[in-house]
Chain A
Amino acid sequence: MTATVTTSGSRAIEVRDLHKTFGKNEVLKGIDFHVDSGQVVCVIGPSGSGKSTLLRCVNRLEEPTSGRILVEGIDITDPETDLDAVRSRIGMVFQQFNLFPHMSVLKNLTIAQKRVKKRSTAEAVEIARRNLAKVGLAEREDAYPAHLSGGQQQRVAIARALSMDPDMMLFDEPTSALDPELVGDVLAVMKDLASEGMTMMVVTHEMGFAREVGDKLVFMDGGVIVEEGDPREVLASPQHERTQAFLSKVL
């Protein structure tokens, strides 16, 4: 059974009335949210606002308590859905990079291509090298993650996700664990991706990135979406007082 649900064809991610509870703690209290194909949506908010949980629900690293999540029209909360197949089309970048430390950079980029996409080694290596070049690390393919800086590791992680030819990318605070001087390189790679038309959902504290690259800005607080809209407008003149309070602290 395929779990396709008719929806406007350009919806990459659609979240309907999403609730998520950890024990007695309700982290998401009914989220309606969508990302259109080719859009860059930035999600901001104080820690504990539920923004990372929302992102992690989109590829079901977190199990939603209730509600529906459609990825390219496929209901990923349906138990009949082949989750691995859907996930292989959603690239994910983590705050802590999560590179595989026992593998070289090249192996990090090829293992899922070979195991999931069943690509030949030659093809996987070629694609991996292309993506390493794209993030500016072509010469580090034999290095191990421990020998790379945080910024380099995160760029490798982006290249790893891109090597699966994803239709969209999820970024979970991709620059929060980086030393300030390394943030720029990672943001530059993300800007390149956005300009190529990649669909992106970015949980971030980088307001500059949101303003410059984002098509939509979502402000979350206390498990709900408080305000959303054009990033430049929201950042310049936030309507809701909670948004104002948050922005006055971070800007």
Chain B
Amino acid sequence: MKRSTRRRINHAALYALLGAVVLVVVFAVDWASVRNNFWADGQHDNWRDLITTGVVNTARYTAIAFAGGLTLAFALALMKLSPIRIYRWIATAYVEFFRGLPALIVILVMAFGVPIAFQWTPPGGPVGAGVVGLIMVAGAYMAETLRAGIQSVPKGQAEAARSLGMSGPRTMVSIVIPQAVRIVIPPLTNEFVLLIKDTALLFVVGMLVGQRELTTIARDFMASGSTAGTATSLTQAALLYLIITLPLTRLVAWLEKKQQRAR
């Protein structure tokens, strides 16, 4: 048999397999039941709370956690690059510790463990404490990204700046960091997307009505409201998450491509 003929037969077989699977799914699945459970009538009543409270709070928690995490990460990255060994050790220990833990554990400890142990009322209640937990975890991940970004700036750049008489800190601020920022924007955007999704973990701490983020509201609508007893509100929350995250992941892909071309 000719090579090209064999290839054509192989392709036809793959298409046939796919068609068969699709047919089985279409006929075997009870579409009425799917619709009733995942897209029940009355889902319109849920949108308002999901968007005006859920999306808003998800965005708020993400923004706070990202800003806080980035600040922490920046301090950790500089510590990791410090000429003083003890600073490097502390930063390394911190990063390894928090990268090795599930974010959920950190959030629970911050929201319930720490307030009891130290008689401390976190600002914003358990949610505030949970966001602090997210900051601590995000800081550990982003610290590594920033350190790698700073170190990827060629050594000759700092040498040129120093040879012109610029001080170490001035060289960092004017020459190294501006170049590192360009390098780390795509991976940091990725961290941002991860953080958006991680705010869903905050549901474990329990929230006041006005504090609820997307996942919490979706869970509440499973218990009460016009789609109670179905997963409809989860489908809606999932759609809203995708509407936020998909453009961002596309943006990352575009930035990375642009950066590769610039090189």
Contact = CB atoms under 8 A, between A and B. Distances in A.
Given A101-B179, A102-B179, A115-B174, A84 B157 contact: no
B182 A102 contact: yes
B165 A61 contact: no
B157 A88 contact: no
Given A96-B156, A98-B156, A115-B170, A90 B178 contact: no
Nearest to A82: B165
Interface secondary structure of B, over-half rule: helix
Interface in A53-88: 59, 61, 84-85, 87-88
B163 interface: yes
B165 A164 contact: yes
Contacts of B24: none
A158 interface: no
B156 A116 contact: no
A94 B160 contact: yes
Contact of A94 (B159, B178, B262): B159
B175 A164 contact: no
Contacts of B84: none
Contacts, number: 60
Interface string A109-137: 00110011100000000000000000000
Contacts of B161: 100, 112
Contacts of B160: 92, 94, 98-100, 157
Given A111-B174, A115-B174, A87 B182 contact: no
Nearest to A56: B159
Given A96-B156, A98-B157, A101-B179, A160 B162 contact: no
Given A112-B166, A116-B165, A100 B157 contact: yes
Nearest to A88: B165
B255 to A, nearest CB: 16
Contacts of B166: 84, 112, 115-116
A99 B179 CA distance: 12
Contacts of B162: 61, 84, 87
Given A98-B156, A98-B157, A102-B182, A90 B170 contact: no
A167 to B, nearest CB: 12
A90 B182 contact: no
A61 B163 contact: yes
Contact size range, B:
10 to 19
B164 interface: yes
B165 A85 contact: yes
A161 interface: yes
A89 B164 CA distance: 8
Given A94-B156, A98-B156, A98-B157, A116 B179 contact: no
Nearest to A60: B162
A59 B162 CA distance: 9
Contacts of B157: 98, 100
B10 interface: no
Contacts of B151: none
Interface in B144-171: 154, 156-157, 159-167, 170
A145 to B, nearest CB: 11
Contacts of B165: 84-85, 87-89, 112, 116-117, 164
B29 to A, nearest CB: 55
A110 B179 CA distance: 18
Nearest to B167: A84
A160 B164 contact: yes
Contacts of A91: 163
Contact of A98 (B159, B170, B182): B159
Sorted nearest first, the 6 A-B pairs with minimum C-beta distance are A88-B165, A112-B164, A98-B160, A92-B163, A98-B156, A116-B165
Interface of B: 154, 156-157, 159-167, 170, 174-175, 178-179, 182, 262
16 contacts: A59-B163, A84-B162, A84-B167, A88-B165, A91-B163, A92-B160, A96-B156, A98-B156, A100-B161, A102-B178, A111-B174, A112-B164, A117-B165, A146-B262, A161-B164, A164-B165
Given A84-B167, A88-B164, 9 more contacts: A61-B163, A88-B165, A94-B159, A98-B154, A102-B178, A115-B166, A115-B174, A117-B165, A161-B163
